[in-house]
Structure 1
Amino acid sequence: MEMPELLTRKELAKLLKISEKTIDRLREGRKIPFCKVGRSIRFNKKDVLEYLEQNKAGSIK
């Protein structure tokens, strides 16, 4: 079984090119999937990217 790539909020913010505060708001609003590892919050990279792909808005023409 392959271990998932877990990201910190700082790593996820850098990947998505958004602020860490925005990551916090998305997490608190349950807009992106996350998991708790002990007392730490981690984000499964694959799950977050799949979630964003499924929930992306249509492009403006």
Structure 2
Amino acid sequence: MMTLTSKELSAIEDQLSGEQLLVTKLRAYSQSCTDPVLKGQCESIAQQHQKHYDKLLSFLN
């Protein structure tokens, strides 16, 4: 396994923060949506960003 530089770690941490924010916002949007199609799209996009978050987190473990 390769060692990440401090700059790379910082970039991953920034991306993690951004992905987590997107997941949180999209889940909130989904809960406030009354249109089932839009609600489903918000949930789907939130899941995609959760996968991105999980993948980025794997670089730190």
Give 1 or 2: higher helix fraction.
2
TM-score by length of 2: 0.28
Higher alpha-carbon Rg: 2
Give 1 or 2: higher strand fraction.
1
